[in-house]
Structure 1
Amino acid sequence: MTDTRLAADLARGAGELLLALRAEGGPDLGRRGDADANAYLLARLAEERPGDAVLSEEAADDPARQAVDRVWIVDPLDGTREYALRTRPDWAVHVALWQRGLGLTAAAVAQPSLNAVYASDFPPTPASVSARPRLLVSDSRPPAFAAEVAERVGGDLAPMGSAGAKAMAVLRGDADGYLHAGGQWEWDSAAPVAVVRAAGLHASRVDGSALRYNQPHPYLPDLLICLPELAAPLLAAIAASR
């Protein structure tokens, strides 16, 4: 099985587990979802790729990953708050592989509530920019400058949960861009970035600089994902608005 097919299989499997747990209900749904999906992914990776390291939101960070050539970067449940509400579809599972000298080489994002898995080997073809661009932002901590950015490009803001859900909405053509500057970690963006880049979309930090993964401190606080023809106008608008 290729690395990308494994990423897709892992994301799908964790998503199915999360759907079953959500259907059962009960207390601490978000906490249990995080823990159970993480245990599933760690066990599968230990079996399928025993020589690789793992960086997971729900596991202690092992500094030894810095000396390893292959590191899986996973978010077992991106959008824990939305998942726990039980009626929200905007949550996801992220699975990405980073390789030394190559960067992100394989990834998948599952959106279980939509019965969808997006992988970097067969990404959909993105749509063209809307006449009035729709820009997605966090519904809990949107960037302070987001409204001005939207005004400068003649667009509108729309809130949504989960970084993966927002990135995949841009990939599907449900939105034109995703802007974030409220703090994130590598596992929030690694898989979504790899998938949208495979489809030809733009992905960078909000100042246009490169997104770097498997860093000693995995904090990666800001992100811009958008259709390629919107990248220059958005980066200019962000620079003028911050």
Structure 2
Amino acid sequence: MTALPVCPDSVAGGDDTFARWLAERTGDLLLRVRVTGLEGSALANAGDAAAHDLLIELFARYRPHDAVLSEEGRDDRARTAAHRVWIVDPVDGTREFSEPPRQDWAVHVALWEGGNLVAGAVALPAAGITYATDIPPRVAARTPGPLRIAVSRSRPPAFVAELAGELGAELVPMGSAGVKAISVVRNLTDAYVHAGGQYEWDSAAPVAVARAAGLHTSRADGSPLRYNQADVLLPDLLVCRPEVAQQISSFIRSRKDPMPAD
């Protein structure tokens, strides 16, 4: 069994720095799993399991009194009464992870405390980049030209095409939910609008980072995002530059038909 990484006291002492460290160490492990010779679903399953197990062991060592909500773990509803809950997606974009050399997959680590997201990190291991709340990202001035909206590379929902037409925007296909949300932080896009099918672990860490960067985050219709709920389904999401939030959420609210899944 590989020895657990040792977290320096100076890092473990802060939730923001610890979130970054967790995401990066998990990313390191996933990169090692990616070169074991496994392919397809076997690689995807091995990555999910290895990343989840590492995170759970590290929480047990460094945050033994905190609750954990992980995509790959059993949901203990006792967490809803906890004051501190780590919300993690060990591999966000498992399909992209299982298709080397794709880079559009991520590791999500977020901390919910007393009703709010207070720390978060999104690692993009294959790109060697991590965005976290310990060093809030600075979003560059918007690139001139049409608005850019991040969408699923394989199944962009029809309503986003309608939104793009309404705003004169262009659609930018890419992989995982975290990569799409962080694309706004990176000034690769101006907005990410998600239509459905997500859970709390898909958005918690990207939302924490986006908020630290000064971006708008909400449900697609502009209503608040709520985490550590008994039902972890959080079906829609808007991450965007503040100046376009009202336009987008108003369009969403004007639709009479339900939004399809992304």
TM-score normalised to the size of structure 1?
Answer: 0.96
Identity %: 55
Gaps of 5+ in 1: none
1:100-111 aligned within 5 A: 100-101=114-115, 103-111=116-124
- Cα offset for 1:236? 2.1
What is the rounded CA distance, in whole Å, between the counterparts of 1:25 and 1:56 in structure 2? Answer: 26
Q: Which of the residues 163, 169, 174 maps onto 2:188?
A: 174
Task: Give a deviation string over 1:50-73, Cα, whole Å, max 9, x none.
Answer: 000000000000011011110000
Deviation at 1:137, TM superposition (A): 1.1
Name the residue aligned to 1:200: 214
Give the letter aligned to residue 2 of structure 1.
Answer: G
**Further displaced range: 178-187 or 136-145:** 136-145
1:95 deviation in Å? 0.2
Q: Which moved more, 1:112-121 or 1:47-56?
A: 112-121
Does residue 37 of structure 2 align to residue 25 of structure 1?
yes
- Across the two proteins, how many residue pairs are aligned to each other? 241
The residue matched to 2:119 in structure 1 has which SS?
Answer: strand
C-alpha separation in 2, matches of 1:7 and 1:163:
19
What residue identity is the alignment partner of 2:128? N
Deviation at 1:8, TM superposition (A): 0.3
| Match among 3, 27, 35 for residue 15 of structure 1 | 27
1:36 to 47, 50, 54: 50
Q: Partners in 2 of 1:108 and 1:92 — Cα distance?
A: 10
Aligned 8 A contact 1:129 1:230 in 2: no
User: What are the equivalent positions in structure 2 for 1:115-154 lying under 5 Å apart?
Assistant: 115-130=128-143, 131-154=145-168
Task: Supply the distance in 1 between the matched residues of 2:154 and 2:45 (Cα, whole angstroms).
Answer: 19
Quote the Cα distance in structure 2 between the aligned partners of 1:25 and 1:90.
20
Q: Report SS of the residue matched to 1:152.
A: helix
Q: Which residue of 2 aligns with 1:213?
A: 227
Tell me the distance in 2 between the aligned counterparts of 1:220 and 1:179.
13
Structure 2 equivalent of residue 66 of structure 1: 80
SS in 2 for 1:127: coil
- Paired residue type of 2:166: R
State the distance in 1 between where 2:161 and 2:59 align. Answer: 41
* Secondary structure at the counterpart of residue 24 of structure 1: coil
Q: Which residue pairs with 2:3 in the alignment?
A: none
Instruction: Give 2:70's aligned residue.
Output: 56
TM-score, length-scaled by structure 2? 0.89
Please tell me the root mean square deviation across aligned C-alpha atoms, in Å.
1.2
Unpaired runs of at least 5, structure 2? 1-12, 258-262
CA contact (8 A) 1:74 1:96 kept: yes
Give the distance between the partners of 2:17 and 2:244, measured in 1 at CA.
Answer: 30
Between the aligned partners of 1:225 and 1:133, the Cα distance in structure 2 is 13
1:105-145 CA deviation, whole Å, 9 max, x = no partner?
A: 01100000110111112122112334201100122343331
Aligned counterparts of 2:37 and 2:174: Cα–Cα separation in 1: 23
Question: Which letter does structure 1 place at the counterpart of 2:210?
Answer: V
